[in-house]
Amino acid sequence: AAEEGFEAEEVEGALEEASHGPLPVLAVVGRPNVGKSTLVNRILGRREAVVEDRPGVTRDRVTYEAEWAGRRFKVVDTGGWELDVLGMEASVAAQAEFAVEAADAVVFVVDAQVGATDTDEAVVRMLRKAGKPVVLCANKVDGPTGEADAAYLWGLGLGEPHPVSALHGRGTGDLLDVALDALPEAPEQTFGAGGVGGPRRVALIGRPNVGKSSLLNKVAKEDRVVVNEEAGTTRDPVDELIELAGRTWMFVDTAGIRRRVHLQEGADYYASLRTAAALEKAEVAVVLIDVTESISVQDLRIITMAVEAGRALVIAYNKWDNLDDERRFYLEREIERDLVQVRWAPRVNISARTGRHMEKLVPAIETALEGWETRVPTGKLNSFLGEIVAANPHPVRGGKQPRILFGTQAGVRPPRFVLFASGFLEAGYRRFIERRLREEFGFEGTPVHMSVRVRE
């Protein structure tokens, strides 16, 4: 039924758009300079180049939302990293491997003008092992004369090479059609895959040396042997089942956490990619902060990644055993200044070394997951909206007063709301509504999405 001037179809459409579950993930991999970033920009349909990044500067953003032929999905871009730690072949393969772990399908980009190199072959071997659907992109085929170069790439044994010019857009539509065919409707990693009561998925994330592996070891109650990852040796299982507080939890991407131990400083690109991959697979992120150091831009980026990924969030302040009174004073001020945006995240002050407050970790995770799955019945939501709007109407702008007509929760994990309004709602007012929603309904430990539909 039409409600206050909104057509039923319009309401349904808005709800459907807002309620989408986790999106399938497409990873774009390949060696440097084959045109991955150019292709990703094409897919995203924008020019503001990811390519512009200066070499050597870590890009923190690796996942983007995209849409093609009416389908929404996520793209993981592995372009733009400098290869300085393991050498070309191992770096490219390792980097691609992280991306592929988190992906539902892969676009493997090869420079058709150059042809297949040893590094490309190394990636192919990794892709075979991973067993995900692969679409082969023969890039830099700028005109018909390049088609022959593309045909040579049949030799990689990955099936048909799709000739593309990421630069000019030639063939990219066809490539995307094929890639989307390879993507499942819903990602394989659907939440609660273990069934009702199955293991919840936890990602331990944080910048290098905050204590991720120490915490993992502590919760796993044994010191783990770090496996030396020679190229070609079988991979560790990536995820680990750990019993905690009488329940089994899946700690995702723990091989990545352990692998990190071997990497030297400067391997930041792995860190970003790993974080993105772990977040894709997790339901809840435990972000570790090292309390003995100032909260850094990198810490804030990681928290932002978790929030943007729409995951439940717990912040664990680690190394509490090593915190003196002076540092503690500054820490609280830094939290007050830098982390107000995520004030809703449960906080635990722990020591992975001594085990301090380990018992508080699970309750915090459970609280966050509960907030993440909270559903507010429509009737309750609307009587609440009615009250706050009556008590605190939107400020009059240009002689008009936008009014919230009604609202509904379109989805959970995290909670997503759609408000239907008679006019544009200012950001400040939307924040006010969100704050009041949180006060009323909790949502501890979860981001809350709110979109507004305006009646034309």
Distance in angstroms (rounded) separating the CA atoms of residues 435 and 344: 10
CB of 216 to ligand GDP, least distance (A): 8
Is 13 annotated as belonging to a binding site?
no
Helix axes of 268-281 and 297-308: crossing angle, nearest 10 degrees:
30
Judge whether 53 is annotated as a binding position. Answer: no
* Distance in Å, CB of 295 to ligand GDP, minimum: 15
Question: Closer to ligand GDP at the Cβ: 189 or 318?
Answer: 318
Is residue 303 part of an annotated ligand binding site?
A: no
User: Is 221 marked as binding a ligand?
Assistant: no
Instruction: Point out the residue whose Cβ comes nearest to ligand GDP.
Output: 79
In the complex with ligand GDP, the residue whose CB is nearer, 36 or 453, is 36
Residue 312 phi, psi (nearest 5) = -65, 150
Q: Which is nearer to ligand GDP, 11 or 361 (CB)?
A: 361
Establish whether 319 is an annotated binding residue. yes
Q: How far is the CB of 38 from ligand GDP (least distance, A)?
A: 3
294 is in an annotated binding site: no
Site for ligand GDP, rule CB under 6 A: 30, 32-38, 51, 79-80, 139-140, 142, 165-167, 206, 208-214, 257, 260-261, 318-319, 321-322, 351-353
Tell me the residue type at 436.
Answer: R
Write down the least CB distance from residue 291 to ligand GDP, Å: 9
Q: How far is the CB of 331 from ligand GDP (least distance, A)?
A: 14
Measured from the CB atom, is 51 or 151 closer to ligand GDP? 51
For residue 94, the tally of other CB atoms under 10 A from its CB is 21
Which is nearer to ligand GDP, 242 or 412 (by Cβ)? Answer: 242
Closest approach of ligand GDP to the CB of residue 243, in Å: 21
Task: Tell me the closest approach of the beta carbon of residue 137 to ligand GDP, in angstroms.
Answer: 10
Cβ nearer to ligand GDP, comparing 37 with 409:
37
Is 141 annotated as a binding-site member? yes
Residue whose CB is less far from ligand GDP, 5 or 169: 169
Cβ proximity to ligand GDP, 339 vs 358, nearer residue: 358
Nearer to ligand GDP (CB atom), residue 12 or residue 223: 223
- State which amino acid sits at residue 280: E
Smallest distance from ligand GDP to CB 415, Å: 30
Q: Does 159 belong to an annotated binding site?
A: no
| Minimum distance from residue 124 beta carbon to ligand GDP (Å) | 16
344 annotated as ligand-binding: no
- 139 is an annotated ligand-binding site residue: yes
Residue 318 counted as an annotated binding residue: yes
Distances (CA, A) of 324 to 3, 117, 152, 333: 59, 54, 64, 15
- In the structure encoding, which two tokens stand for residue 359, read together? 């018992």
Which residue ranges are tagged as binding site?
Answer: 30-37, 77-81, 139-142, 206-213, 253-257, 318-321
Which residue ranges are tagged as binding site for GTP?
Answer: 30-37, 77-81, 139-142, 206-213, 253-257, 318-321
